[in-house]
Amino acid sequence: MTKSPVKQYFFIVFLISLAIALTIRFPMILSFFFENSGGHHPPGFSLGFSRLVIELGFTFIAAFLMFTMNFFILKPVEKHGDLKPLHVILAILLTILAIFLINYLFFNVSRILEPGPVKRGHKSEFYLTNFFVSALVVGCVFLIRLIFQKQNYKLEVETLKREALQGQFESLKNQLSPHFLFNSLTALKNLIDEAPDKAQLYVNSLSKALRYTLQGNEKLVSVKEEMDFMESYLYLIRIRFETSLSIETNIDTMRMGFMLPPLTIQTLVENAIKHNEISKRKPLRIEIYTTDRDTLCVANPIQKKMTEEEGTGIGLTNLNRQFELLIGKGILIRSDVDFVVEIPLIKP
């Protein structure tokens, strides 16, 4: 689970505060360990260790408190909003004032925890160091704010792109259902004129197939779902063309769980039916099969009609665009001996 921006901020500033404390007190750490690098602890070891811990602790707490205060002033994790000059001035002034108050408190606490004469310049050094820490903290908050806003900007751009692509995809997909309905009703009209007894069976199967096309706003369906729909659709086709059309399927069971846009196979089969002669004299064979390349193919021999039907321009063009929007890869079309359309299957 992704951390909230506030938790991220305080986790980051915790680490930065620790790094600042270790960096500022690094000379003291080196001095302490070099002076006590022998096998025995000289007199004053415990006093020197307590001083080191106090200095490190105070520096860390001062830095963390400054980060916390500036979190409410500069609001570094806000998604929007310009940084007003008044907020910048307020942050600097309050940081300076707070660091003096904190220093005064810490210095007096350190005198209680570590009684004894104050070294010359120690108090001034204490104030100067923590003042430097406050300046470093304000600079880091500005940097953190810049990084968070840059990340938010990238996320918003990606979200807008994704929404735009989704909108285009839905527009293309919504064109396919009417396309299927138009072709089916045209076929039904022909059946009513030519074979009224089959029209009733056709209507029953058509209603089952339409449930699939109107099932909702599914962006992707499994190959198994698509093939289940194709059983109803192929029944409609067989009523229309009887023995003049044969459709063979060879779908690898290992690829039944792969995904593709709804009505993909139906669009390819409909495209083959539309652009090829289908008659008792010249029956058409359509093959639907998967490959080891995780693709699905729909192939048919090229049997050009004497008179080409006027197309709507929706079929393969829209299908290709859908795959480009979804996975950045279009469909492949080969037309040598057979006309073959190869579509990439999407791993679930």
pLDDT the model gives residue 215: 62
Domain around 68: 5-158
Residue 178 lies in a domain: no
Task: Supply the pLDDT for residue 46.
Answer: 55
Q: Strand 295-301 and strand 284-290: pairing?
A: antiparallel
- Whether 15 and 119 map to the same domain: the answer is yes
* 108 and 233 together in one domain: no
Q: Are residues 100 and 241 in the same domain?
A: no
Q: Domain with 308 in it: what CATH number? A: 3.30.565.10
Pair (199, 263) in one structural domain: yes
> 335 and 242 share a domain?
yes
Last residue of a domain, one of 106, 131, 158: 158
The domain boundary residue, chosen from 142, 158, 174: 158
The CB density around residue 287, as the number of other CB atoms within 10 Å, is 17
Q: What is the pLDDT of residue 120?
A: 47
119 and 230 part of one domain: no
Same domain, 95 and 49: yes
Our CA angle for 234, 238, 239, nearest 5°, is: 120
Residue 271 inside a domain? The answer is: yes
The amino acid occupying position 343 is I
Domain boundary among 130, 158, 186: 158
Task: Please write down the long-range contacts of 288-294, taking CB distance under 8 Å and 24 or more positions apart.
Answer: 288/230, 288/247, 288/248, 288/249, 288/250, 288/251, 289/248, 289/249, 289/250, 289/251, 290/223, 290/250, 290/251, 290/252, 290/255, 290/345, 291/342, 294/255, 294/258, 294/344, 294/345, 294/347
In a domain, 260, yes or no: yes
> Does any domain span residue 182?
no
- Same-domain check for residues 10 and 74: yes
Q: What is the spatial distance between Cα 260 and Cα 331, in angstroms, rounded to a whole number?
A: 12
- The tally of domains found in the chain comes to 2
Task: Give yes or no: residues 113 and 207 share one domain.
Answer: no
Torsion of CA 316, 318, 320, 324, to 10 degrees: 180
**Same structural domain, 205 and 110:** no
Q: Is there a single domain that holds both residue 129 and residue 224?
A: no
Q: Which residues contact 191 (CB under 8 A, 6 or more apart)?
A: 198, 199, 202, 239, 240
Q: Which residues in the chain land under pLDDT 70?
A: 1-3, 34-48, 79-82, 107, 110-127, 129-130, 159-180, 183, 213-218, 308-314
